[in-house]
Amino acid sequence: MIKIYISEEYKFVFDQYKNDLVEKPKVFKWIENEDKEFNFNEILNLLTQRSLFHTFNKLLILFPKIFDKSKSDEEKEFIDAIDKISFEQNIDIFIYMINKKTSLPKWLISDYEIKEIPKLNYYSSQSYIEKELKKNSIKYNSEILTYLKNKLNNDPWIISNEIKKLSCYSNELTKEIIDNVVIEYSDNSVFKLISSFLRQKYDQSIRIFDDLLNRKMTIEEIFSHFCSYLFKLKTIHMYFLNKKNIKEEFKLQDFQANEFISLINSISISMIDNLLNILLKLDKDNKKGLLSLDNSFRLFLVGGVNGY
């Protein structure tokens, strides 16, 4: 039997699966390959040899984005071949790859079971954080859990790494420990940046901006989040969304939704459009090598809502 899993975070999912199975190395076999050209014969040879030695009955394969229209026939032959082998040898084969379902060939979608693994979001990340805390034997309560979640973003790598750091300091979480150990990766900080900017608190905006850079966020990440929040603000402004709609549509926290509602009363759509046009030009000029995004975005923040 073949099962195919697709996700933008496929490598993380695969590594987690590997870690869970590492205690049974004779039962499971995994192949990891991130090269652009995947060696199909390697897999077929492994499965053929496996029939002689019978050392595993489950195979995990981490593929890169392999489906190429120019090689569709070759890829179909490969998938069909390992499917046949899995049936004849009673072996389960799990394939993990980075892909969106809409980009997969029709034959794959119609012939095989495909499960799309969603990326973590603000709501689903809580259960993952709890799992990691328990794995590291860290005690916590619901208030501390929420506090920690608001510090982190939805990247599973970051969540795991920060919780490992916390486990080195204490087996019981407090706000003080979290503040001292955890880098605030969450886009709450970028939200604070755009909020202070639109409220014309420019000194505060620059302090937040510098703090984000010190916390190892890249200028590209800050810029991208900033533009994203402006687009969200424009959408809310245009369609007069209420608080419930805002939280559900944009997966925002309660305080963020309240702040958005407050901001639309102090800034017009035309002003948002003007800011977005300025940022679009900065982005284009940066990609053309005409300016440094770091310096130009800083000047934008200093210039304020009335012009860069």
Which of 6-10, 64-68, 160-164, 264-268 is least confident?
A: 64-68
Provide the pLDDT for residue 144: 92
Give 86-128 pLDDT, tens digit per residue.
Answer: 888 777 787 777 666 767 778 888 888 887 777 777 677 888 8
Residue range 175-193: average pLDDT?
Answer: 76
Give 190-249 pLDDT, tens digit per residue.
Answer: 888 888 888 888 888 888 888 788 766 778 888 888 888 888 888 887 776 676 777 776
Residue linked to tokens 């420990």? 177
Nearest to 201 by CA among 129, 304, 281: 304
List of E strands, 167-232: none
Nearest to 286 by CA among 223, 202, 225: 223
Amino acid letter for position 187 = D
Report the Cα–Cα distance between both ends of the chain, in Å, rounded.
Answer: 59
Q: How far apart are CA 221 and CA 187, in angstroms?
A: 10
Greatest CA separation for the chain: 74
In CATH, which of 3.40.50.720, 3.40.30.10, 3.40.50.300, 1.10.10.10 is domain 2-116? 3.40.50.300
Q: How far apart are CA 227 and CA 203, in angstroms?
A: 20
Provide the pLDDT for residue 70: 57
Provide the pLDDT for residue 266: 79
Q: How far apart are CA 201 and CA 198, in angstroms?
A: 8
In CATH, which of 1.20.272.10, 1.20.140.10, 3.40.30.10, 3.40.50.360 is domain 188-303? 1.20.272.10
Q: For residue 172, what is the DSSP state?
A: B
Sequence spans of domains, the chain = 2-116, 125-181, 188-303
Domains 2-116 and 188-303 share a fold: no
Q: How far apart are CA 152 and CA 247, in angstroms?
A: 18
Provide the pLDDT for residue 54: 59
